[in-house]
């Protein structure tokens, strides 16, 4: 086949190449796309920051994180000595790497308690890519009124 000019041949070849590169078979495993991913060795955690109306950190007595769809408890276990830091900073871990599957989007709920009374609750959507968990929606800066 003879092309009228070189630029037409280049464009046709480019389009054909992009077509073959973008095609996926039904047998493709989503994890296969991660084989080439370059990830940091850091563990990513999505935290909730809770302050009162005076912008002071809120010290919860406890908190829980639940998968809304199936009721699974996703609350991270924290050593009591480390929990003091969270109370002082008002920053509580909600979810971290390894708790959400690749390309899965889950709805979770964070609840905070003082004296066994629920004082704050907020819903979130989270996902994970090849490397880390990510927040899809929800406000991680909460004000206790």
**What single string gives the DSSP state of each residue in 85-136?**
HHHHHTEEEEEETTSS-TT-EEEEEEEEEETTEEEEEEEEEEEE-SS-EEEE
**Could you report the average pLDDT of every consecutive run of 10 residues in the chain (145 residues)?**
52 51 50 78 93 96 97 94 95 93 94 97 95 94 95
- Within 10 A of 83 (CB to CB), how many other CB atoms are there? 16
Half-sphere exposure of 38 (CA within 13 A, CB side): 0
Nearest to 104 by CA among 133, 76, 124: 133
Instruction: Tell me which H or E stretch contains 12.
Output: helix 6-22
Beta strand 117-128 pairing with 105-114: antiparallel
Burial class from Cβ neighbours inside 10 Å (0-12, 13-18, 19+) for residue 44 reads middle
Tokens of 8: 């037409």
This prediction's pTM? 0.75
Q: For the chain, give every domain's residue range.
A: 45-144
């Amino acid at each position: 086949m003879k092309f009228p000019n070189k630029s037409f041949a280049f464009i046709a070849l480019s389009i054909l190449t992009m077509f073959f590169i973008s095609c996926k078979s039904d047998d493709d495993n989503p994890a296969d796309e991660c084989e080439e991913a370059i990830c940091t060795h850091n563990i990513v955690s999505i935290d909730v920051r809770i302050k009162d109306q005076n912008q002071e950190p809120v010290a919860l007595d406890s908190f829980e994180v639940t998968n809304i769809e199936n009721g699974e408890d996703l609350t991270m276990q924290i050593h009591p000595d480390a929990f003091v830091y969270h109370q002082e900073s008002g920053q509580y871990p909600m979810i971290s790497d390894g708790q959400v599957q690749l390309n899965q989007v889950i709805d979770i709920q964070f609840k905070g308690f003082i004296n066994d009374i629920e004082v704050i609750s907020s819903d979130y959507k989270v996902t994970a890519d090849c490397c880390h968990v990510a927040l899809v929606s929800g406000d991680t800066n909460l004000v206790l009124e």
